[in-house]
Structure 1
């Protein structure tokens, strides 16, 4: 026994060391997260965006069940375009599955349309009111407007300062019909449509209801605005 005992201890110690080496540790998880973020940054670059990120740290004592590299999955737990502090969900689908979160700080830089000067509520946006700046687009939860054709002609809901990024919540479609405007009234059924001229008795946007006066009969009816100067009545 005096001879065998040291050998048994060596075998047990060697097995314990091998099992510890097989565990998934913080370096493995951070490495998987870094590889995922590098791929994501490459996808953003192909879209004209630039990403700067820093992964969070993990407890060095962390030890999870073994997981082959091809079984480790990484994904965002929330939309990275709406937060600068998203988390990565790292998981293993092996024989002993596990899941955990890895924090990440993420700034996504991109060109966005911003106010070229101070603007007032109700201003209808023209090209001269707009300029382009490089901003952290995911710091704006409402999302930014990046294409001029999606902005020009819209109306501001509130005053803004110079440099304010335009967001969908900041603008609205202007009235397509204003009080006193002459409009074309279309009375439509499945079989036919009748058109006549009328006068708007209020303001309304496309899709809204407005009272109009039929200039031929002097009757007042409610109609739905379908386009600037165009209203429709269902028959």
Structure 2
């Protein structure tokens, strides 16, 4: 009888041990929150304030026990969505992975239109102001400093109070069709210059067709500054 009771007790204890050897929803939630707290601390040093919630998890969730710390990383870009996906993974002997969808709001300074802006206007300091907004609520990005976009051309009409996003702006043309330009042919530190005529309009960083006024040849060159283009030798 004593042997039977002892065997039953050991079996129950063993079963309890197996049942408790699990990774619970609370442990997964805690790992996600630790990761998000670290992300918030990193962004605070860059001037952003991050508020977050771990997301919904079924409390009945139980995965294999992990013999190492849970690894957490973003699988979606937190700068492009307020609900980026998080991957929580066990990389131990019994590996597994799952995904959690937290709420992440990144608050920071961004440029907002102070008045209605018309297509074709050149952006200047009087047209914008800096406000603290949830910068990742816009899937189209944001602009933080006027120095990054000053003088750029408004591509379409913008209402007052609207967040200025990169797709609303385009670089002004540094070369207009018909302009006389300096063509720089460069190889390392050696360069040769000649004069040419732009056959199209283009901004810095874009390619443009240019006619060499001396040789009458038409070439493709990169616009490097207003009135200057460059080709490799």
* TM tier relative to shorter chain: 0.7 to 0.9
Please tell me whether the aligned partners of residues 204 and 210 of structure 1 are also in contact (alpha carbons under 8 angstroms): no
1:160 aligned counterpart, secondary structure: coil
Using a 3 Å threshold, how does the CA distance of structure 1 residues 199 and 9 change in structure 2: closer, same or farther?
A: closer
Once the 2 structures are TM-superposed, how far is the Cα of residue 201 of structure 1 from its aligned partner? 6.3
Larger mean CA deviation between 84-93 and 202-211 belongs to: 202-211
Distance 1:36 1:187 in 2: 51
Is the aligned partner of 1:6 residue 2:5?
A: yes
Using a 3 Å threshold, how does the CA distance of structure 1 residues 9 and 145 change in structure 2: closer, same or farther?
A: same
Once the 2 structures are TM-superposed, how far is the Cα of residue 118 of structure 1 from its aligned partner? 0.8
Q: Write the mapping of 1:61-72 to structure 2, written as runs, cut at 5 A.
A: 61-68=60-67, 70-72=68-70
Distance 1:12 1:234 in 2: 79
Q: Write the mapping of 1:64-213 to structure 2, written as runs, cut at 5 A.
A: 64-68=63-67, 70-179=68-177, 181=179, 183-186=180-183, 188=185, 193-196=192-195, 203-206=201-204, 207-210=206-209
Distance 1:58 1:195 in 2: 67
Once the 2 structures are TM-superposed, how far is the Cα of residue 168 of structure 1 from its aligned partner? 2.0
Once the 2 structures are TM-superposed, how far is the Cα of residue 142 of structure 1 from its aligned partner? 2.4
Identify the residue that residue 51 of structure 1 maps to in structure 2: 50
Distance 1:33 1:96 in 2: 20
Q: CA-to-partner distance for each residue in 1:184-224, whole Å, 9 max, x for gaps?
A: 4437476763534x66665333333256695xx8x695664
Distance 1:97 1:87 in 2: 19
Q: CA-to-partner distance for each residue in 1:158-199, whole Å, 9 max, x for gaps?
A: 111112222222211111133565x34437476763534x66
Identify the residue that residue 59 of structure 2 maps to in structure 1: 60
TM-score by length of 1: 0.84
Distance 2:53 2:231 in 1: 58
Gaps of 5+ in 1: none
RMSD: 2.7
| Larger radius of gyration between Structure 1 and Structure 2 | 1
2:129 aligned counterpart, secondary structure: strand
Distance 1:212 1:132 in 2: 44
Distance 1:220 1:67 in 2: 69
Number of aligned residue pairs: 229
Using a 3 Å threshold, how does the CA distance of structure 1 residues 187 and 112 change in structure 2: closer, same or farther?
A: closer
TM-score by length of 2: 0.84
Q: Write the mapping of 1:217-232 to structure 2, written as runs, cut at 5 A.
A: 224=221, 225-231=223-229
Using a 3 Å threshold, how does the CA distance of structure 1 residues 222 and 120 change in structure 2: closer, same or farther?
A: farther
Once the 2 structures are TM-superposed, how far is the Cα of residue 58 of structure 1 from its aligned partner? 2.1
Please tell me whether the aligned partners of residues 176 and 201 of structure 2 are also in contact (alpha carbons under 8 angstroms): yes
